Amino acid sequence: TDSDVNLSFYDKAFMERLQKLEDYCRESNRKDLIMQICDIQEYLASKKFTVAVVGEFNRGKSTLVNRLIERDIIPTSDIPTTTLPIRVSGSKQEILNLRMGAESKTYPLTEKSWEAIEKIRANSKGSKGEICLKRNCSLLMEHDLEIIDTPGVNSQIKGDFSMAEQALSGCDCAVLPMAAISPFSESERLFLQERIIMKKIPRIM
């Protein structure tokens, strides 16, 4: 039942032990370990449950995300269309927000907004960024759920693999869609084995 589902993780005793470990590291002046511990504390204190949808292009990643959020919002086609990570979260106000470097611009949730974002991205000369999509959806809002739609790892677009890697590094669950009409490829097997399983992501679908 819905009442049995708890996607968040927070253990007070564990957080206290983590704090003691941080104190020991400060006494020893281990700045490298302090940074790692702070990242872990921030991750565990967050109430959001993050799902990264990763894999090769033309495997239905964006289509799957659209079905989960109950509206065909993210563009889909037979060619690579997701050229930046799209971070989808719940909000009563539905908007698109493009972040490229230090720049940030907000758009209404319309087809023309996607066209405007693509023009900026095409002229960005390889600048890193992401698109934040806010959607009024009960699945997202009731469970503090965040979904990251990533570029296809074999799309031949520079940086796509690293964008998927970055999404995986901070997620609670990885979803790897596969095509029902084609065999599980060797590249997909290697990506699953070396990039998902090896990262010890808690949940894999």
Secondary structure in 3-state letters for 14-39:
HHHHHHHHHHHHHHCCCHHHHHHHHH
Q: Are 109 and 96 in contact (CB under 8 A)?
A: yes
Return phi, psi of residue 5, to 5°. Answer: -85, 125
Q: Which strand ranges, in their side-by-side order, compose the sheet holding 103-108?
A: 103-108, 95-100, 129-135, 86-90, 145-149, 49-53, 173-175, 203-204
**77 vs 79: which has the higher pLDDT:** 77
Neighbours of 46 (CB within 10 A): 16
Name the least confident of 30-34, 68-72, 74-78, 172-176. Answer: 74-78
For 24-57, write each residue's pLDDT tens digit: 999 999 988 888 888 777 767 767 899 999 988 8
pLDDT of 199 strictly over 80: yes
Question: How many Cα atoms are found within 13 Å in the side-chain-facing hemisphere of 126?
Answer: 4
pTM of the model: 0.75
For 101-126, write each residue's pLDDT tens digit: 778 899 999 989 998 888 888 787 66
